Structure 1
Amino acid sequence: MGFPTHRPRRLRASEALRRMVRETELSAGHLIYPLFVTQEKKGKSEITSMPGQYRLSIPELLKETTEAARLGIPAVILFGIPKTKDDYGSAACDPRGVVPQAIRAIKEKTPDLLVITDVCIDEYTSHGHCGVVKEGKILNDETLEILSKMALAHAEAGADMIAPSDMMDGRVRTLRKTLDENGQTEIPILSYAAKYASCFYAPFRDAAQSAPQFGDRKSYQMDAANRREAIREVALDIEEGADIVMVKPALPYLDIIREVKDTFNVPVAAYQVSGEFSMIKAAAQKGWIDETRAMIESLLSIRRAGADMILTYFAKEMAHISGEKR
């Protein structure tokens, strides 16, 4: 039985009705705020390709994390930018390095704010790759040892969760074993389980000064054409001990988010990456789209696809809006 008996527009007639039947919820509690921290003693520098985002000294970082906590954002994820880089990303493993220092400062200032740390050495290597390089090849097993030391340094500094993003085979198992053997059994692992080799990372690489100095990352990040491979990658990471799995990027891979959500009984994260953020910002600056509406619509689409949590540079803006609606 159809029209005129059925009139779906009846439930769209007013904002109150639309709120009552709204299927997907989006609030500050679903957001994780990515932040770039440097070893500068003070100040911040704007990231030109990511309007409104900055490389932050620890004093400036604390301003951001304090505001995030006030807005009801439950977690931040830290990306460190060291003063010096080398072929092995040695600074990544330093217990007194930029990220461990930042963790301690945040936990002292806002102890209830969850601090997640990105575990990958691309920001720390002179060549910009996520693994040890030998004769032009990215070595898998040799990289795992460095990642283990990095993860342990973060956990011992007080991180609430670690997030390996390197896409080396076996890294979740290796990190879980290292953490457990060193008394860090309560630290969850948020795995970048289905991370695609994407052009949408370009502004991030500008921000972190981590663009590869040769070649690309297609030998370890996933092919954009593959769906079944993503399910296999996620299954392997869960088997190895991942507590939360992530799909990255988000908008070009909404189908993957939905399939992962339908297939596995674990929390699913999605990363609205720098390129997704910057495209909205750039189009809004040109006057081509409404930035606020585009932000909300894009984040809702990620939630609707099945993401339980979203890493997004729009976290503060979205939290302001959801707070106002309350």
Structure 2
Amino acid sequence: MKKTETIVLLIMLVILAIFPLLFPNPGATSVAFFAVIYAVAAAGWNIFSGFSGYISLGYAVFSGIGAYSLALICQKWNIQGDYIPFAFVLVAGLIASIFALPIGLIILRTRRHVFVVVTVATLFIMQLLAYNLHGFTNGSAGMTLPLPSWSGDFFNIPFYYMAFILLIAAILMSWLIRHSKFGLGLLAIREDEDRASSLGINTTKYKLIALMISAFFAGTAGAMISYFTSTVFPPEAFDPTFDIAVALMTFFGGVGTLAGPVLGALLVEPLQQYATLEFGTAGFDLILFGGLLLAVILLLPEGIVPSLTKLVLKIIATRTWAPDAVAAEEIRNTEGLALEEKKNG
């Protein structure tokens, strides 16, 4: 099962690495950038929600913090465009991770559906703060980021490969966590938190660390999106549809897996971009995400990667045992003929 998932993941990464070379069109690379950066966000979301079982719908809190952090850094330090802001994308991720500490100490006091409600409430609180803290966020007028000086045909390429580097980092972090004692602790919390606690696992500490790691990747994703669009506004920075999209992508690909969030993002985000360009109806993305999420829960509850893995294993098992079954049938037929001839004789 792990081998199949690894193969799927490696194939996707190879395709992503050469995608701009195969399709250099700015329209294609723009959609690809958003698909990859959402894959980063989905992989980060999976580190906390997928491994621990705590479904967060307030993940945009940290992407918004990352977006505003990068905008404030560029504005206060008078940073120009081009490649320099990419270095501060990591700083924005660290700031989001630091903010996750006090936020996590509050929201992780709750569980299950209460936790989901609290995360949604936290998101809207942050959005209201972004509207009202004019000294930091400039309120509803928003903030602008420096424009790179790259030409139009090259503009998307640096953003794409920076997002690709972040995606590799998110996948490596997920792999390290999944194959560590810390990851086993998170999986134990997902299965039965009370029992995990009784076995000596500091569940609060484990969840808080996972949330901070998850927030880092959300912050980098938010910072990258804000730099790509060159603007930050409260409703876009702290957008509830961001949470729905990331959760849908992870569930669609396979929650708790390594390849699932990446595959889900690469399938869902281009579909959302196409629907927006084709229909352009306000709120259509919510209808699309809601319908897809319902379909995934009802028809494909385990996601694509686990379902595909089970199908491959079933085919392999069938092919492995089929010759033995045929041989056994031939032996039975031969023995039956021998007995029949013996009786007749």
Q: What is the TM-score with the length of structure 1 in the denominator? A: 0.26
What is the TM-score when the length of structure 2 is the normalising length? Answer: 0.25
Q: Which has a greater percent of helix?
A: 2
Structure with bigger strand share is: 1
